[in-house]
Copies of this chain bind each other. A is one copy, B any other.
Amino acid sequence: MNIQPLFDYIARYVALTIEEQELLLANVNRRRYLKGQYIVQQGDICQFENFVLSGCVKSFYIDPEGHEHIAMFAIENWWVTDLGSFIKQRPADYNVLCLENTELVQFHHKKLEELYQKIPSLERFFRIIIQNAFVASQDRIVQSMSVPARERYLAFRQKYPQIERRVPQYMVASYLGITKEFLSKIRSQLIHEQ
């Protein structure tokens, strides 16, 4: 399992010395999951921040009526965890499930805290990527308020074509906050339109 993509990804934001890279390497786990396995389950105390080397996962919430709501997908070069559970070390509200066989680099909560002390650049790196994630998240809130489902679907398609190809349609619908039936209707409208 080649960890190089992680270093390449980090190098886009900060420069780590060789020693820092080695220290980091000594303090992460690599792990394979099979399609259908859970990386995090609602109720767990989430131990890891995960970087996806290969594969595809979804993070989702099951509401009291038993309906699933997909918070995000993650594929190669994305990060995924239940961040609330990870940082506060409290039971997870979300599940993270593999949609394909998946390879991860896992940062254990406690070891990451230690790494932050030893490698200030790493803390900088996480500050930057979380900032970016927060901006995207805010935009998604405003989009869900101001943009109708059809346009949101078109935007999703444009922004994440790789994901649309890899996950079933009903999960895309859930991510967009609509039912699979309604997404199906939107798609048939789009087809018959031109």
Contacts and interface: CB of A to CB of B under 8 A. Distances in A.
A65 B131 CA distance: 29
Contact of A130 (B71, B134, B177): B134
Contact of A123 (B127, B134, B145, B177): B127
A133 interface: yes
Contacts of A6: none
A135 B83 contact: yes
A139 B134 CA distance: 12
A141 B140 contact: yes
Interface residues of A, number: 34
A18 interface: no
Contacts of A141: 71, 137, 140-141, 144
Interface in A132-169: 132-135, 137-142, 144-147
A3 interface: no
A144 B141 CA distance: 8
A192 interface: no
20 contacts: A61-B142, A69-B142, A69-B145, A71-B142, A83-B131, A84-B135, A84-B138, A87-B131, A87-B135, A93-B139, A120-B120, A123-B123, A130-B130, A134-B134, A134-B137, A137-B137, A137-B141, A141-B144, A144-B177, A145-B177
Interface of A: 61, 63, 67, 69, 71-72, 83-84, 87, 93, 116, 120, 123-124, 126-128, 130-135, 137-142, 144-147, 177
Given A72-B138, A83-B131, 4 more contacts: A61-B146, A63-B147, A83-B135, A134-B134
